[in-house]
Copies of this chain bind each other. A is one copy, B any other.
């Protein structure tokens, strides 16, 4: 194997850093002004780059949304892979749920995710991005929950697993709304109650 030459690797890592810088600036603009209110001019100003630079990396705002959604999906895929590698998948899922709750309750992250889903409700291109990522999420969660259920002797139909995945997703995604509507909620205690709810969900009848 030939090692990549040093300058090419520096170029690649510089490009990655630039992309991240744009995504970070765009996230801030979408949160503060909404998807429509945030212009490429504003994003470029926030990122400290020229608009031409932004367009070098992203064709339009939808492409930026696609990259943000892809990063969230990547985290979920890493998490489900880690869960399935655990000795006790069920215990791992419940334990790691506490992190998931904390993550969903972060107000800045929640504001951005809610803005993207609100935009998906009226913008078919954003809807497609969000729905494709969600389908992948659901598939991975179905595999994970399916393993847990089979290990406990359940004989679920694939549809039954899908419905349990929806309840699990709703429980987590509702936290995005909760942290905006009730910013004073007790994060640690709510996380514990959600862990109990997930434990119960995994024991629902076939």
Residues of A within 8 A of B (CB): 31-37, 107, 110-111, 114-115, 117-122, 127, 130-131, 134-135, 138, 159-160, 162-164, 166-167, 169-178, 180-183, 185-186, 189-190, 192-194, 196-197, 200-201, 204-205
Contact = CB atoms under 8 A, between A and B. Distances in A.
Contacts of A167: 171, 190, 193-194, 197
Given A114-B177, A169-B174, A170-B174, 19 more contacts: A34-B118, A34-B119, A107-B121, A114-B121, A118-B118, A131-B183, A138-B182, A166-B182, A166-B190, A167-B190, A167-B197, A170-B178, A170-B190, A170-B194, A173-B177, A173-B178, A174-B175, A176-B177, A197-B200
- The quantity of this chain's copies bound in the complex is 2
A115 B36 CA distance: 12
Contacts of A205: 196
